[in-house]
């Protein structure tokens, strides 16, 4: 029987708080550091490896974390999730995003259907539609092929798919799988939609409207903006639009769309990149085969995440170390630092994934918790970040745990040798140097040039960022966030924090305001 208990009630957590802190400067210096790097790593899917030698842990800490994972029943709770238990207690829903890429356990029935079969059917429907678009079977009014796909969505309907598209764009061009350029409209700010529309030929653009409910204010506003642009160009909007929505939404059977692809209430927006939300735009952009490879990488990482052995389960281990840093060492934030320009929007996606999931101050039963939960997540690609906020990371008053991601080879496969090394070698040299610099520091009598070190980091390393590796990377972080939510005993799958502002905004637009809300509305000429 699975028991849902607060972190601070677990005996193993109490023992974890009493473990001796690890002095990173000492253990990462000299030959001891070399031995740690060889020892502390865990294989992931798609040829990736999670390295945590530069984290402030040792064998005693890892044993305490293993005991915590067992007492918190992390593996059992994951099994409950993928076998169809009601894990989203806030909304009384199942949590099924893993089913979009594979079946880990029992057949899951909901709404009278086999949900794995439902998701596969949507993927097949998207694949056929994308193939027909690429083959010129679905064309514009002039009988010409669509050349651009534009996704209209916000939050999880934008951040994940946009990050995944950017991650694979150059890879697809290099590997001759690039089919259509993709653009994204998300912000209700009219300048966002206008900028995208000004950059595309609307006559050859296919628009994907993503709204599970069919009522998302920002998305429907941007849809109207796009429809006006199409009408002004003498085009019929219904010939240029498809919908990704739920079967019960007003968009599902509307004549305003060429096709509708379905999602459901069991997949939250921030977990939806492997559903139709990401599937439509990525299949149109790169082809269904590439999207299938992406799903395969995620499915493989999901399988590894079921392992009860903490030291062989990278997502669970990453989660446990993160909770140790947050709750025992007291670090309030985490920086995500991909040394890959293709992952330029990946930190933004992880920011939503993590902070919307675990930014909670009550547990699964609505009771206040007395310990910190989700950290602040931020980040940018290296080496750009080195010339920006790394100053604070190295010498600031707060210690910020770091999550690096790096690849041995570039996506383009070609490079230039300058001053005895290639661009890719320079990139990799920088990430290796940063890990050691953060951990070991550098003593200097000039305090302005003194680096105390002791700044923990981990790194995920792969051969090349390709669809399978991207899928594995995505699933790793989704599962990490899930495991941390289990440990904190919060519901990682609802997001009530986004609702209050929406309600007040509707009051403003209806001119039903008073007090401070009215004054701010007046200041903004609403």
What is the rounded distance in angstroms from the CA atom of residue 147 to the CA atom of residue 203? 9
Residue of 291, 297, 293 lying closest to 471 (CA atoms): 297
What is the rounded distance in angstroms from the CA atom of residue 513 to the CA atom of residue 526? 11
What is the rounded distance in angstroms from the CA atom of residue 515 to the CA atom of residue 526? 15
> To 5 degrees, how large is the angle CA 520–CA 523–CA 526?
85
What is the rounded distance in angstroms from the CA atom of residue 351 to the CA atom of residue 353? 6
Of these residues, 367, 502, 506, 512, which one is catalytic? 502
Is residue 186 within 8 Å of residue 192, measured between CB atoms?
yes
Is residue 510 within 8 Å of residue 375, measured between CB atoms?
no
Ramachandran class of 19: left when φ > 0, alpha when ψ lies in -120 to 50, beta otherwise: beta
Residue of 7, 258, 278, 61 lying closest to 161 (CA atoms): 278
Of these residues, 18, 31, 38, 387, which one is catalytic? 387
In this structure, what token pair is assigned to residue 93? 């829903």
Q: Annotate 208-245 with b (16+ C-beta within 10 A) or e (fewer).
A: bbbbbebebebbbebbebbbebbeeeebebeebbbbbb
Q: Which residue has the tokens 């409207």?
A: 209
> To 5 degrees, how large is the angle CA 264–CA 268–CA 273?
90
What is the rounded distance in angstroms from the CA atom of residue 503 to the CA atom of residue 12? 42
Is residue 459 within 8 Å of residue 49, measured between CB atoms?
no
Helical packing angle, 467-488 and 314-323, nearest 10° = 40
- Does residue 345 have a cis bond before it (omega within 30 degrees)? no
Is residue 433 within 8 Å of residue 421, measured between CB atoms?
no
356 in active site: yes
* DSSP code at position 22: P
In whole angstroms, how large is the CA radius of gyration of the chain?
24
> To 5 degrees, how large is the angle CA 69–CA 73–CA 74?
65
What is the rounded distance in angstroms from the CA atom of residue 190 to the CA atom of residue 229? 12
Burial (0-12, 13-18, 19+ Cβ within 10 Å), 519:
exposed
502 in active site: yes
Of these residues, 218, 223, 356, 380, which one is catalytic? 356
The residues assigned a catalytic role are 356, 387, 502
């Amino acid at each position: 029987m699975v028991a849902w208990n607060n972190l601070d009630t677990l005996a193993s957590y109490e023992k974890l708080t009493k473990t001796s802190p690890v002095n990173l400067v000492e253990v990462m210096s000299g030959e001891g550091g070399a031995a740690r790097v060889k020892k502390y790593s865990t294989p992931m899917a798609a040829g990736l490896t999670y390295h945590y030698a530069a984290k402030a842990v040792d064998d005693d800490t890892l044993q305490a974390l293993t005991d915590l994972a067992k007492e918190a029943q992390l593996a059992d709770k994951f099994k409950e999730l993928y076998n169809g238990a009601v894990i989203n207690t806030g909304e009384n829903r199942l949590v099924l995003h893993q089913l979009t890429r594979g079946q880990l356990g029992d057949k899951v029935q909901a709404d009278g259907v086999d949900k794995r079969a439902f998701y596969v059917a949507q993927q097949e429907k998207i694949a056929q539609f994308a193939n027909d678009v690429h083959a010129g079977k679905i064309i514009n009014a002039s009988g010409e092929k669509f050349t651009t796909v534009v996704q209209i969505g916000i939050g999880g309907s934008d951040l994940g798919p946009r990050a995944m598209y950017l991650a694979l764009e150059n890879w697809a061009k290099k590997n001759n799988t690039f089919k259509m350029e993709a653009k994204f409209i998300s912000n209700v700010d009219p300048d966002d939609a206008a900028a995208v529309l000004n950059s595309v030929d609307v006559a050859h653009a296919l628009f994907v409207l993503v709204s599970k409910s069919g009522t998302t204010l920002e998305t429907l506003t941007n849809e109207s903006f796009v429809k006006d642009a199409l009408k002004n160009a003498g085009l019929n909007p219904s010939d240029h639009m498809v919908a990704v929505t739920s079967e019960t939404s007003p968009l599902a059977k509307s004549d305003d769309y060429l096709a509708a692809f379905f999602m459901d209430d069991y997949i939250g927006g921030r977990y939806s990149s492997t559903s139709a939300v990401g599937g439509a735009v990525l299949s149109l952009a790169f082809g269904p085969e590439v999207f299938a490879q992406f799903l395969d990488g995620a499915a493989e990482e999901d399988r590894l995440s079921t392992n009860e052995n903490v030291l062989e389960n990278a997502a669970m281990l990453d989660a446990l170390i993160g909770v140790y840093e947050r709750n025992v060492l007291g670090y309030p934030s985490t920086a995500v630092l991909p040394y890959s320009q293709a992952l330029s929007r990946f930190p933004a996606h992880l920011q939503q994934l993590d902070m919307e999931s675990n930014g909670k101050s009550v547990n699964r039963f609505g009771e206040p918790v007395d310990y910190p939960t989700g950290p602040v997540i931020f980040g940018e690609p290296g080496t750009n970040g080195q010339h920006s906020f790394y100053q604070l990371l190295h010498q600031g008053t707060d210690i910020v745990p770091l999550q690096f991601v790096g690849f041995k080879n570039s996506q383009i496969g070609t490079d230039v040798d300058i001053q005895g090394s290639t661009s890719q070698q320079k990139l990799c040299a920088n990430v290796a140097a940063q890990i050691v610099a953060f951990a070991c520091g550098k003593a200097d009598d000039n305090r302005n040039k003194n680096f105390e070190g002791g700044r923990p980091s981990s790194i995920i390393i792969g051969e090349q960022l390709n669809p399978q590796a991207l899928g594995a990377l995505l699933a790793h972080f989704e599962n990490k966030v899930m495991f941390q939510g289990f440990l904190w005993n919060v519901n990682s799958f609802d997001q009530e924090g986004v609702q209050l502002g929406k309600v007040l905004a509707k009051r403003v637009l209806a001119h039903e305001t008073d007090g401070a809300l009215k004054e701010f509305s007046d200041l903004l000429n609403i």
